[in-house]
Structure 1
Amino acid sequence: MNFLRLISGTSALTFAVFASPLAGQEHRGPAFSEDGTVNVSAFDLPPSVLASDESRQAQEMRGRIPVGAMTTGQDPEIGARRATLARMLQPRVDLIQQMYPARVEEAVIAGVPVRIITPAEGEFDPGRVLINLHGGAFNVCWESCSLIESIPIAVMGGYRVISVNYRMAPEHRHPAGVEDAAAVFGSLLEDYDPDSIGVFGCSAGGALTAQLAAYLPTNDMPQMGAAGIFGAGGVRFQSGDSAYIAANIDGSFPGPDVDGQLAQDLTLGYFDGADYADPIISPALHPEVIASFPPTLITTGTRAMDLSPAIVTNSALLAQNVNSTLIVGEAMGHCYQYNPALPESREAYAATVRHFRQNLD
């Protein structure tokens, strides 16, 4: 198996890293300052021998989800930025639709635009439904990410997946996205039991899934039946060790400075004026909030900037006796599931389908 899996009952994840200098490369080791800051020597990181042949050959685990590229050096007008990203990702959408034939219907639920994705052939589960909250840094990627994330799960699992076009920056601010997600969830309660509704998303959508799981009980709404938090966690993005490490070994996103301040706001102001420690934005920091979470599947990668938030969220869930499973893809970057050609991605799809089958009534 090409990824590391932690299942319920495991309370901590410990990595032992054994490094040896490459031929002709001086290795001086890290230097530690009195305040605990580590000065890391330069080194070459080769493709992992534990990753699939496809991932080693393609080397697509850096910069292939171009959120960082779309927020630097690009047309600042948001409409042009979204259109450019849609063109960039269209080949990926085409590949997904070729591999997983699906029907896509545009609709509106509770006043919110949505896409309803079902398998092109065969029936879909009539008693259970999934909500997808797409990625894109809370400001882009509805056009493409909603399909890239939803189609494989709908087809492999035989599910009806409703992807939500929630309000984003720069036009809107938090809590617009979670309010839209809650509105769609509330409307689905007319036809489904809450234990039959699952919610999942990648990147910003993964963070929004965690926010929704915190938001529902806080607003006297029933909890969802199961959650999938992919490429994210229940704490702010670009936080923890992985934000610094991924910035230097993956490069898709800039890292914070030594004081933990973000060099760049990838969300284009979506959280302006909000407290990042708020129980809805960072439920993993609040035991009484995360204790109400449903069974949760979390995926990340060893080279992903979201590795630390994912680990912290998994540990917080387990500490509150919530059923939580953490999958860490070896040598994988942020939201590696966006590349369906990788065996690691297809394994993650299968794990997602199993998760919802096992935990939704």
Structure 2
Amino acid sequence: MNGISNSKPVFQADGSVIVPEFVLPVSPLLSEQAATFQRMRATVPAFDAAGEGLDATTRREQINTFMAPQIERLRAMFAVNIEKAELGGVEVLDLTPADGSHDPDRVLINLHGGAFTVGWDGVALVESIPMAALAGYRIVSVNYRMAPEHRHPAGVEDVAAVYAALLEHYAPGRIGIYGGSAGGALTAQAAAWLPAHGLPQAGAVGIFGAGGVPFHAGESAWTAGYIDGSFPAPPADGSPLEDITRGYFDSIDEKNDPSAWPGYHLDTLATFPPTLIITGTRAMDLSPAIYTNSQLLKAGVRSTLIVGESMGHCYHYQVTMPEGRDAVDQIIAFFRENLT
């Protein structure tokens, strides 16, 4: 039987579907490295994405410890200078290629992932080191305020402060903003926030592993919970999802606050610059990414969507895997084309 059920899906009157148990094979379209990674997952313990029960400080230290080996590998692969600095009153990491060859006229702002609760500076370095070396750009990664200590719009206010400081040295059309996971959602929020608060729009934005609507919006939160496993599936009894942001969006009117979730507002999306969105077929963010791309196109914005076959959440972090490196190469090509 190979673990495959002969039963068929049952379609309910309310539109929901009862899906029979089935085996999802490794895609034959994957690179050998990615296929090997999929097979290895059977021997790798699940990493608790939410850190339930841990205080924020402990959880942040845990994430940084978890990311440390990957950062060590990236530092060995890519020669970059990393300096701690402050811009607009906000702590940042300032990364440039070690040989000093970066483009003097263009800069990228990185917004790290971590569910609006963790990720500084472990995830920030994973997102920034390859980009600085491969793109030849200065990367400014922002230590934005997070939960549980802070609430929206604290993070996007910090991004705007760093952006305003960079405007003293760069033309707005030559500043790009990108981020993965929570940083991808924050990138969408920044693109909505800047023109709404009297700042010129950035030249281009990259929304990776996220969209302009919440992560639980759409059906991919369900499917990814069972075929990817990086994040838990919604409870079967219909109870609310665990809030992995630890209250960062408390008191936000989800569909009526464009500063938090601009994907629901065509008039806000119409102010966006060229946008690149990256997700994967196994990613929980697949639905938010698809929906945001469609809404941007409807709003008349140039938007490009890349969906990695059999890829999970923020697969572009894995630059040693061909699929991850391809995604990074496309990110670089996108910013080079649009930061004119």
Cα–Cα, structure 1 residues 216 and 38, in superposed 2: closer, same or farther, change >3 Å?
same
The residue aligned with 1:100 is: 78
Are 1:191 and 2:136 counterparts? no
The residue aligned with 2:279 is: 300
**Structure having greater relative contact order (Cα 8 Å, sep ≥ 6):** 1
The residue aligned with 2:62 is: 84
Q: Do the aligned partners of 1:67 and 1:137 also contact (CA within 8 Å) in 2?
A: no
Deviations 1:116-138 (A, max 9, x none): 01111241000000000000000
1:320 is displaced (CA, Å) by 1.7
Are 1:123 and 2:109 counterparts? no
The residue aligned with 1:59 is: 38
Match of 1:337 among 308, 316, 323: 316
Letter in 2 for 1:131: I
RMSD: 2.1
Q: Which moved more, 1:226-235 or 1:256-265?
A: 256-265
The residue aligned with 1:162 is: 140
Match of 2:241 among 263, 281, 303: 263
Q: Where does 1:183-332 land on structure 2 (aligned, <5 Å)? A: 183-257=161-235, 262-277=240-255, 278-332=257-311
Query: Matched residue of 2:121: which SS?
Result: helix
TM-score, normalised by the number of residues in structure 1: 0.90
What is the rounded CA distance, in whole Å, between the counterparts of 2:152 and 2:47 in structure 1?
20
Are 1:142 and 2:120 counterparts? yes
Q: Do the aligned partners of 1:255 and 1:262 also contact (CA within 8 Å) in 2?
A: no
What is the rounded CA distance, in whole Å, between the counterparts of 2:222 and 2:77 in structure 1?
35
Q: Which moved more, 1:293-302 or 1:82-91?
A: 82-91
Identical aligned pairs, as a percentage?
53
Match of 2:25 among 46, 70, 87: 46
Q: Which sections of structure 2, spanning at least 5 residues, go unmatched? A: none
What is the rounded CA distance, in whole Å, between the counterparts of 1:183 and 1:352 in structure 2?
24
1:262 is displaced (CA, Å) by 3.6
Q: Do the aligned partners of 1:250 and 1:333 also contact (CA within 8 Å) in 2?
A: yes
1:96 is displaced (CA, Å) by 1.4
Query: Matched residue of 2:276: which SS?
Result: strand
What is the rounded CA distance, in whole Å, between the counterparts of 1:306 and 1:281 in structure 2?
16
What is the rounded CA distance, in whole Å, between the counterparts of 1:77 and 1:24 in structure 2?
40
Q: Which sections of structure 1, spanning at least 5 residues, go unmatched? A: 1-21
What is the rounded CA distance, in whole Å, between the counterparts of 2:215 and 2:88 in structure 1?
29
What is the rounded CA distance, in whole Å, between the counterparts of 1:62 and 1:335 in structure 2?
16
The residue aligned with 1:14 is: none
Cα–Cα, structure 1 residues 347 and 248, in superposed 2: closer, same or farther, change >3 Å?
same
Cα–Cα, structure 1 residues 122 and 189, in superposed 2: closer, same or farther, change >3 Å?
closer
How many equivalent residue pairs? 339
The residue aligned with 1:9 is: none
1:28 is displaced (CA, Å) by 1.3
Query: Matched residue of 1:148: which SS?
Result: helix
Q: Do the aligned partners of 2:110 and 2:141 also contact (CA within 8 Å) in 1?
A: yes
1:81 is displaced (CA, Å) by 1.1
